[in-house]
Amino acid sequence: MGGNKGRKLEYLIADALKEGATVVVTCGSRQSNFVRQLGAACAMHGLRCVAAVMDLPFDSAAGKPRGAHPSGGGNEILNHWLGVELHHFPDDDWEVLYQYAETLAFALESKGETVYRIPVGGSSPLGALSFYEAGREMLAQGVKIATVVTASSSGSTQVGLTYALASEGVKVVGIVSDPEPEIVHDFVKIGEGLAELLGVKPLGPNAFLLDFDSVGPGYGVSSPEGEEAIRLMATREGIFLDPVYSGKAFAGLLRLARKGKLEGPVLFWHTGGMPTLFATAD
């Protein structure tokens, strides 16, 4: 049910165990798909999972979005079964949330725990490496693709796919969930770390194709176009998308296709996140 997060954890958990970690600390929204899947992976390997969460973290420059957003239920219920230690904080800027996570990590270290820090969404060079491998896996299947369209947020999914497919002439279009044009700089930084792991030349910001026109009201808040895309995919294919990421991404794909702006064949990369369909909304 978590889609793209499972691939990242194959590398991140291995690194945490290699470092002798006793607890993993991360952060995200209350309905974070990554936090929930991280909790499952930690439970499987005997690690504590601690997460700083907010109902709706946001970028201060863009302002806090208004509208219905997933609150209780969904991933929060699954976190309960997995034993994830959630620490709830009032909604604020993402940077504030990152600091809360660091405070939790420091407190655990002061008690003798060996802490492994994982950034939001697992978006690190190792997380990107997992999607570099995913892109190469796609190529190995021999399917001819001109464009990959996927949801894009913290960056490692799109960064990894871009590094894997750029040399093959395959475009990777990220339909962005965050109203932050400057995130391309985060992608470049993650890519620099990935390039070091791969021993290749790093890609510049122009390598990352970003579409911000499906963000809607803002991060974590559903959009009418996204909800219509969810309904269309469900009724045509019996496949469900989620309101935060993949629903908006498929809405973006439809918009670009109708305008003749996608070179085909097109692959839609489903990033999971179905538990938020069962979350109650404010």
pLDDT confidence tier of residue 90, bands split at 50, 70 and 90: very high
* Least confident span in 68-72, 90-94, 157-161: 68-72
- The string of pLDDT tens digits covering residues 29-46 is 999 999 999 999 999 999
The answer to whether 4-122 and 125-281 have equal CATH topology is yes
- Encoding tokens for residue 27? 């952060």
Q: What is the pLDDT of residue 117?
A: 98
**Among candidates 225, 149, 221, 218, which has minimal Cα distance to 178?**
218
For β-strands 23-29 and 115-117, DSSP reports them as parallel
**Is residue 195 scored above 90 in pLDDT?**
yes
- The string of pLDDT tens digits covering residues 234-268 is 999 999 999 999 999 999 999 999 999 999 999 99
The fold adopted by the segment(s) 4-122 is Rossmann fold (3.40.50)
The pTM score is 0.95
- The string of pLDDT tens digits covering residues 50-74 is 999 999 999 999 899 888 788 889 9
Q: What is the pLDDT of residue 260?
A: 96
**Is residue 280 scored above 90 in pLDDT?**
no
**Is residue 2 scored above 80 in pLDDT?**
no
Q: Which residues are catalytic?
A: 32
Rounded mean pLDDT, 218-230: 95
Q: 125-281: what CATH class?
A: alpha beta
> Is the distance from CB of 243 to CB of 226 less than 8 angstroms?
yes
Domains in the chain: boundaries: 4-122, 125-281
Q: Phi first, then psi: give them for residue 165, nearest 5 degrees.
A: -105, -15
For β-strands 147-152 and 266-269, DSSP reports them as parallel
C-alpha R_g of the chain: 18
Peptide bond into 243 cis (omega under 30): no
- The string of pLDDT tens digits covering residues 97-125 is 999 999 999 999 999 999 999 999 999 99
Q: What is the pLDDT of residue 32?
A: 95
Q: How far apart are CA 27 and CA 268, in angstroms?
A: 27
Q: How far apart are CA 95 and CA 90, in angstroms?
A: 13
**Among candidates 87, 123, 162, 154, which has minimal Cα distance to 12?**
123
**Is residue 1 scored above 90 in pLDDT?**
no
Q: What is the pLDDT of residue 189?
A: 98
**Among candidates 33, 85, 35, which has minimal Cα distance to 275?**
33
> Is the distance from CB of 17 to CB of 10 less than 8 angstroms?
no
Q: What is the pLDDT of residue 282?
A: 56
